[in-house]
């Protein structure tokens, strides 16, 4: 369950960032009608920045996937090797959340 939630959160984050890059690329295309050397230079800088951002996104995505998967695997291994401790910790956390929720 935790692995599905982590993967879903990562996928949402990556999809949002990719949408941002895509929207910026479309904006860059729409500004192509602007004239002047400064506009051309600005468009080129934005284009270069977008390429760098896309490369960084790909590297970050892979790194996040690996780290997230490692964390999920470690948590699952701990729970499987220490089931009673895990139940105790979960019960304690649930108790504390219950106390905090009833104080409102």
The neighbour count for residue 21, using CB atoms within 10 Å, is 15
Q: How many domains does the chain have?
A: 1
Q: Which residue has the tokens 């998967």?
A: 69
pLDDT for 29 equals 74
pLDDT for 91 equals 93
Q: Could you read off the pLDDT of 6-34 as tens digits, one per residue?
A: 567 677 777 777 777 777 777 777 666 66
Q: 72, 65 in Cβ contact below 8 A?
A: no
CA distances from 41 to 28, 52, 61, 62 (A): 12, 17, 30, 32
Please give the model's pTM, rounded to 2 decimal places. 0.44
pLDDT for 75 equals 87
pLDDT for 19 equals 76
Between 101 and 32, name the one with better pLDDT: 101
Domain of residue 27: give its range.
Answer: 1-103
Q: Could you read off the pLDDT of 55-91 as tens digits, one per residue?
A: 877 888 888 888 888 988 998 898 899 889 988 998 9
Structure tokens at 15: 């999809």
């Amino acid at each position: 369950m935790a692995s599905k939630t982590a993967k879903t959160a990562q996928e949402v984050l990556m999809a949002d960032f990719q949408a941002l890059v895509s929207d910026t690329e479309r904006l860059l295309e729409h500004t192509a009608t602007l004239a002047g050397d400064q506009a051309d230079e600005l468009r080129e800088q934005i284009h270069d920045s977008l390429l760098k951002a896309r490369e960084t996104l790909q590297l970050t995505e892979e790194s996040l996937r690996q780290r997230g998967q490692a964390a999920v695997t470690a948590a699952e291994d701990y729970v499987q090797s220490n089931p009673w401790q895990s139940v105790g910790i979960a019960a304690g956390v649930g108790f504390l959340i219950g106390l905090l929720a009833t104080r409102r």
